[in-house]
Structure formats: C-alpha cells, structure tokens
C-alpha cells in the first residue's frame, strides 16, 4: 500500500497550478533576437521614439527612493523623446564632429557636448565586486506554499503570498570579463521585495564554505585570486597559491572536494542547487524559535558539464551561462526552484545529530533532516539594462525581515559587516539602497540624510529621535506593529578568546562522506579534476601536501591522483572515520524534465525538410529549443512554400552548445569546408567520406561528452564516418521510413533522445573504472 503524504501532495498540486500560470511561452520563438525592432537595410532617418524593451524584459518595479509605490510606468524611467539631447535635455544637431575653429582648426574649449560626452564615458565604470564580479540575473516571483508558517512569522512565507524577486547568479573568482564555465563556486543570491522590507538570501551552489571564521576570508580569496605578480591565472583554482592555502588550512577540504566534483562546472544556472550555507534562526508568531538551513532545489534537476566541454565553451562561448539563462526566459522556458528548509531544534548547543550547526564547513545530510518545501521561485523576465540592475544590485546577509534571525556562526558575523562596507565603496556612497533595483517595496523612514547620490527629497526638520518638531515621527514599531526584534538568545558566560570550538576540528569526515556518496562516474570526474588542477601546480611540495590531505579522505582517490601526478601515495595518519553515504549528494540516478534543453537538428538541402519541420515543431511543443544547423545561413528549401530557417551553420556551430544532436541524413561538405577557410574542416580524409568534416567534429565531441545522438535516413553513414558505433549506448538511428509516421522516422528518433535527456547524459557509454567501496 502506498504511503500517503498529505503535505507533499498539497505542495505538488500548488506547484502544478503555479507552473501552469507562468508557462505562457511565446509560440515558436527561437531566442537570441538582439532588439525588439527589426532593423531596416538603410539607416533610419524619420524621427521616432525609443524602441520598447523585448517581450522577455522588464526593469525594476516603479517604487520611489523611499519605498513608496508609484504610478510611473517602467518605460518612463528609461530614455525618452525622438531626438538626441544633452544630459540637460537640449536637442543636438550633430554628435560626429567636435566644435572646431574651421574644418582643420583646433577644437574649441566651449564644446560642452564634447566635454559632457567624453567626461561621462570616462566615468562609466564602477569598481567591480572583489568576488562574484561575473554575474547574470533575472526578475521573478516567489509563491509561498504556507508550509513554513508553523516555524516563522515571515509574511512572505505565509500561505498564498506572492513576492517579487531579483536573482543574481555568479562565479566567485573571476573578473567581470572572465568566462562562465570555469571550475568555481557559483553565487545564488535572491532579493525578496517583501511588504516587511527586503530579505536577501545570499548563498552559493555549494552548501559549505572554505573557512569557518570570516577573519580568514581575505586569506582564502587572496590565495584563490590570480597571482599578484603576473595577474594569472584568471578565474581558476589550478595554481600554486590556491592549493598551498587549502592544503595547509584543511578546514577547506570539504568545500574543495565539492569544487572538484561536477558541482564546480554546472551545465547552467537553471540546473544548479542553491544553499544558504549558514544556519539561520526562524521565529514563529508566538516567539518560539527553530534553526534552519535554506535550500534551492531546481525543478529541471542538478546537471553539470564534463571538463573538456567546459574548457571548449570557455573559448567558443565565454557567455554560455548568461546566454542560456536569458534565452530560456525569452523562449518561455522559465527556470524554477523550490525553496526548502531543513529544520532543527533550537538547543543551547546548536548542534544536530552531533553536527555543529554553526560550522559553515559542515552539512546536515538530508537523510537526517529532510528538506521541506516552502515555496516556488519562477524567473520570468530578463533585466532591461545589465548595469542598472545586474551590476548595481546590492545584497547583504543582514537584510532580514521579522521571523528570520541570524545565528552565532562566526563566518556569518563577518559577512554581516563586509557586505555593507563593500557596497559603499562600489556604489559611490551610503545611498545605494535608493538605486531602483535595490529599492524596498515597503515604506522607508530611516532618518538617514544626505551623502553621495541622495535621490530622495526628504521633508521635515528633525531627522533625529526623540523629536517634537516633526510631531515625533518616525515612531518605533514593536513586534505587534511589524517591527524587527532580535531574538533574545541567552549568551553563556565565557572568556574572550581567539579559538574555535572543538567540534570545528573535524575536517575530513564530511569530505569522506561526500566522496562515498558519489556514483562511480562522478568519482572518476573528481579524480580527473584533482589530477588536472594539481598538474598545473609548479611546486612539488604543494602537490605532495595535497596528497596527504586526500589520504585522509579515501585511499583510492589519493592513489589515483598520485598516479596521475607521478608521485607516491601517502598513507592516512590513522583509521578513516566511518560515515554513511547520502544519496542526496549525488547528481545522478534520477529523471528530470527536459524543458529548456537545446537540440541541434543537422540538415542540408538534401534532407527531408518535412521531417525537419515536424521534429522542430515537436521539440517546441515539448518546451525545448530546436536549432537548425545547415551548411550556410538563410533558409533551407527557400524556393518552397514553407522554408526552414537556419539558426546555426557548420562554421558557427559547436557541439558544446547543444544537449543532443539529431541528424536529418548525412550532410555533404559545404562550400566553405576546407582548412584555409575554417580550420575545423582541415584534414582532408573526412571530406572524402562525403560528409561535412565539421559535422563529424560535432558528432565526435558530442559522443565523447556522453550526449544523446539520433537521426534518420542516411544518418548512420555520417555517424560511421565520425567513428561512432550506431549500436553504442545513447545512439538512436531510424530508417528512411521510420515507423510510418510520414516524417522519415524523425519523431521516433526524437522520442528516444528526449527520454535520454531526462537523465542528462548517457553515462553508461563510458563505464567508469572507480569501484564502489
């Protein structure tokens, strides 16, 4: 008899209803159109107002600098008018020529337009974030299930509450111009614009941190950043200073093994888990407290790249993750996550099952404390302006609302200080909360005055308390009036010391648990990651020291990495701790939705275009993105009644852009398929096979990256020319007549491909050597 879970069933019904409500995807839209207006061949000369934003874009909600809702439409916050003007609104007849004393004469100092234009350009950039500089973001909405009301009085978590959000994803180490797919931790920061003030949940895609105390934060970042003498390597941990630090500071071991796993190279932001990292305290309506950890669970599943694929993408498309996020939203495949909480009793020890909840390098396995869903996050709009929104958004762990409180986690305490401090430096002063993307959706009466970039026009004469000249306003709000009241936690008597509790000293049991929880395929990837990273380290003693750390995790892991480095494997210092694996730590073994996945359809003029059209429509109807890849741009079957639009060419496409490939036959070499024009076509021999060599390269790459491959008609010949056995796992080829569906077997091939995509990759194609201990 199936066990009944009333809460789970209720939550699933709510999810289905909310998913239906936000799934208004534009029919047949292929994402990537750069503007909302189709350009003319000639430069337009007839005055017209600015183009509207794209259907997928919106700006910050229109609130005043002091959190008051306005009737001002979002469009009124952007530029207006048909004519070019100065910053003061004076119309201009020209912006191509400086004001000079004659056509060949000196430029005149009185040219205000020149000085204003150049001066503003010289000051366009602001300091980038020290960490998390490289980011992408989106607007969305959070729907609460009401299941958290038992443990918190936070209004945005009450039954039926809907809260606008802005979410920023990021890498940690790289500069703003670095690549998206480097091996790194990812930020997952969510700004909830609640009626009670802003709540920022500032987390990562890895549930633990490198350090236990914020005083070490400058050290770990200095170690992980490029070397200060050469400023290399950019956005990478594969270098001496990083491994020198983490091998000496072994509390970093747990985060490091997560980073060396597939979690360090996610497939997309849409397929990342998010974690609040720290333990927080929730307070209910009666004042009772509970300790919790926050989790974001992606509806699309947790998926990653393979390492070679990540490296290729860094060169082919360094904007891969931000493009994927924006394209998914534009095409209506809205990314979704469930917010969940792990709940623990708020005891004086602040521990659970022997795990110290104040240690940010530890997790609580989900088998011990299940993640309970409390709401659904849907990202449904792209920003209208990257700088104004994604770059200027300011998060802070201290932005809390009634019902959510901080704990004594020493890392969290330092973040409470650091975030406010850095925003003042980056955003030019203390009024960064008045920037539109940061404005609260609750009235602000903070008595803070003046400062750089003050955009509010405050009234009154008494910005102090107590006062009578302003009638005593603003007044205090207790808990009954929605005031934020810190939980009166009893602090035990203690001495002032620079020490950590004894429970913080265990640096290896949870990394060992993580390793033992991975599938054989995932373990192979961890071995390869450590071997690659340490192979980039110059100093031999650092490599040897890391091996002594790995020996405390697992002898097989240590031995395999040592073998790759050509070094002896050290023995552990003592018996390894007994741990229980946690199935929740593995990304594999489940089936996930395929919404938003990208399928490449390789075709040419000799392909059955009716089958191509049918398959393309089926992919769109399934919420996925079909991209037709052909020898040249334009249209296939241009002379027919229903030509097929080409999105990629053999010259511009690369396998890393697609989750799966479908072959509509065996495309012949294109007219540009020679090495002098396109190096990917070099070699000569594949051309003799009668198939475009760039298609063969795509197929070979996709095959070794464990992606599903399919096709119909003469597809088997193309696969054979690429050296791919059509009987290999995840390779699905149907005949010309297919199953009698009238499209050459395309639908049958697609059906098999989509089924495989639900598991993300065809891992059984390459059996691992790692044995389960």
Task: Point out the residues that are catalytic.
Answer: 132, 204
Q: What six digits make up the tokens of 82? A: 């048909």
Instruction: Say if residues 707 and 724 touch (Cβ distance below 8 Å).
Output: no
For residue 32 the two structure tokens come to 């990537």
Q: Measure the N-to-C terminal CA separation of the chain; round to a whole number of Å.
A: 34
Q: Give CA–CA dist 430/432, Å, rounded.
A: 6
Burial code of 275-295, b = ≥16 C-beta within 10 A, e = fewer?
A: bbbbbbbbbbeeeebbbbbbb
In angstroms, the CA 582 to CA 183 distance is 24
Distance in angstroms (rounded) separating the CA atoms of residues 76 and 50: 11
Bridge partners of 191?
166, 200
How many Å is the maximal CA-CA distance in the chain? 93
DSSP letter (8 states) at residue 441: S
Least Cα distance to 144 among 163, 126, 131 occurs for 163
- Counting beta carbons within 10 angstroms of the beta carbon of residue 24, is it exposed (0 to 12), middle (13 to 18) or buried (19 or more)? exposed
d(CA 301, CA 298): 5
Q: Would you state the structure tokens that stand for residue 394, as one six-digit string?
A: 């300011």
Which value, to the nearest 10 degrees, does the dihedral of the CA atoms of residues 167, 169, 175, 181 take?
-160
* Closest listed residue to residue 201, CA positions, set 306, 280, 318: 280
**CA dihedral sign, ordered 507, 512, 517, 520:** positive
Phi, psi of 629 (to 5 degrees): -115, 120
Query: Do residues 694 and 602 lie in contact, with contact meaning Cβ atoms separated by under 8 Å?
Result: no
Distance CA 147, CA 159 (A): 7
Half-sphere exposure (Cβ direction) of 20: Cα atoms closer than 13 Å: 6
Distances from the Cα of 326 to the Cα of 137, 138, 202, 384, 666, angstroms: 9, 8, 21, 11, 32
Is the bond leading into 466 cis (omega within 30 degrees of zero)? Answer: yes
Strand partners, 202: 189
Residue entry with tokens 């093994």? 257
Q: Please name which of 130, 190, 759, 226 lies closest in space to residue 536, comparing C-alpha atoms.
A: 226
- Residue 111, both tokens: 């040219």
The full DSSP string for 379-438 is EEEEES-IIIIIIT----TT---TTEE----HHHHHHHHHHHHHHHHHTTSTTGGGSGGG
């Amino acid at each position: 008899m199936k066990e009944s879970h009333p809460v789970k069933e209720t939550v699933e019904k709510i999810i289905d209803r909310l998913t239906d409500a936000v799934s208004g995807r534009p029919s047949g839209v292929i994402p990537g159109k750069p503007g909302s207006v189709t350009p003319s061949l000639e430069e337009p000369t007839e005055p017209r107002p600015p183009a509207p934003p794209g259907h997928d874009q919106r700006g910050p909600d229109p609130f005043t600098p002091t959190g008051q809702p306005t009737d001002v439409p979002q469009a009124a916050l952007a530029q207006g008018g048909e004519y070019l003007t100065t910053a003061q609104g004076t119309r201009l007849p020209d912006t191509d020529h400086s004001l000079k004393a004659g056509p060949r004469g000196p430029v005149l100092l009185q040219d205000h337009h020149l000085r204003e234009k150049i001066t503003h350009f010289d000051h366009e950039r602001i300091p980038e974030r020290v960490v998390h500089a490289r980011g992408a973001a989106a607007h969305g909405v959070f729907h609460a299930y009401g299941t958290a009301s038992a443990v918190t009085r936070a209004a945005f978590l009450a039954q039926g509450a809907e809260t606008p959000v802005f979410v920023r994803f990021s890498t940690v180490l790289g500069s703003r111009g670095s690549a998206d797919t480097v091996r790194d931790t990812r930020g997952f920061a969510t700004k909830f614009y609640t009626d009670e003030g802003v709540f920022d949940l500032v987390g990562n895609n890895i549930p633990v941190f490198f350090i236990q105390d914020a005083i070490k934060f400058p050290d770990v970042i200095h170690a992980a950043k490029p070397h200060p003498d050469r400023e290399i390597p950019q956005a990478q941990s594969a270098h001496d200073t990083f491994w020198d630090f983490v091998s000496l500071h072994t509390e970093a071991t747990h985060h490091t093994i997560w980073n060396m796993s597939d979690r360090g190279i996610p497939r997309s932001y849409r397929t990342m888990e998010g974690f609040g990292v720290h333990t927080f305290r929730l307070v209910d309506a009666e004042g009772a407290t509970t300790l919790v950890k926050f989790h974001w669970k992606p509806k699309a599943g947790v998926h990653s790249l393979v390492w070679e694929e990540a490296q290729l993408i860094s060169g082919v498309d360094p904007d891969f993750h931000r493009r994927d996020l924006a394209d998914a939203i534009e095409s209506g495949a809205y990314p979704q996550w469930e917010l969940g909480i792990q709940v623990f009793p708020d005891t004086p020890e602040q521990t659970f099952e022997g795990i110290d909840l104040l240690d940010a390098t530890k997790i609580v396995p989900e088998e011990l404390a299940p993640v309970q869903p409390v709401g659904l996050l849907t990202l449904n709009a792209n920003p209208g302006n990257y700088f104004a929104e994604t770059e200027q958004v300011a998060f802070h762990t201290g932005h809390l609302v009634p019902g959510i409180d901080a704990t004594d986690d020493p890392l969290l305490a330092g973040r409470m200080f650091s975030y406010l401090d850095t925003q003042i430096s980056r955003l030019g002063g203390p009024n960064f909360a008045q920037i539109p993307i940061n404005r609260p959706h609750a009235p602000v009466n903070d008595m803070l005055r003046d400062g750089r970039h003050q955009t509010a026009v405050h009234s009154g004469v008494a910005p102090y308390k107590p006062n009578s000249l302003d009638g005593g306003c603003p007044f205090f709000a207790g808990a009954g009036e929605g005031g934020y009241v810190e939980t009166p936690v009893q602090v035990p008597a203690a001495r002032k010391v620079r020490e950590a509790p004894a429970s913080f000293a265990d640096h290896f049991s949870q990394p060992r648990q993580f390793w033992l929880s991975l599938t054989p395929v995932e373990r192979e990837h961890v071995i390869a990651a450590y071997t690659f990273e340490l192979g980039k380290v110059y100093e031999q003693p650092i490599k040897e020291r890391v091996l002594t750390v790995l020996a405390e995790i697992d002898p097989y892991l240590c031995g395999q990495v040592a073998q790759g480095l050509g070094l002896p494997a050290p023995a552990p210092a003592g018996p390894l701790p007994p741990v229980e694996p946690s199935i929740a730590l593995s990304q594999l073994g489940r089936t996930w939705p395929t919404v938003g996945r990208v399928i490449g359809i390789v075709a040419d003029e000799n392909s059955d275009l009716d089958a191509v059209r049918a398959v393309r429509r089926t992919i769109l109807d399934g919420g996925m993105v079909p991209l037709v890849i052909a020898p040249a741009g334009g249209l296939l079957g241009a002379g027919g009644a229903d030509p097929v639009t080409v999105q990629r060419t053999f010259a511009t496409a690369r396998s890393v852009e697609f989750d799966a490939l479908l072959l509509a036959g065996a495309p012949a070499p294109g007219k540009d398929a020679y090495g002098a024009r396109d190096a990917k076509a070099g070699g000569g021999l594949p051309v003799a096979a009668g198939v475009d060599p760039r298609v063969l390269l795509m197929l070979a790459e996709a095959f070794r990256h464990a992606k599903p491959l399919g096709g119909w008609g003469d597809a088997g010949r193309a696969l054979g020319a690429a050296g791919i056995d059509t009987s290999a796992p995840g390779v699905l080829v149907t005949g010309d007549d297919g199953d009698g569906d009238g499209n050459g077997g395309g639908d049958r091939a697609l059906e098999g491909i989509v089924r495989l995509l639900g598991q993300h990759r065809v891992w059984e194609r390459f059996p691992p050597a790692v044995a389960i201990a």
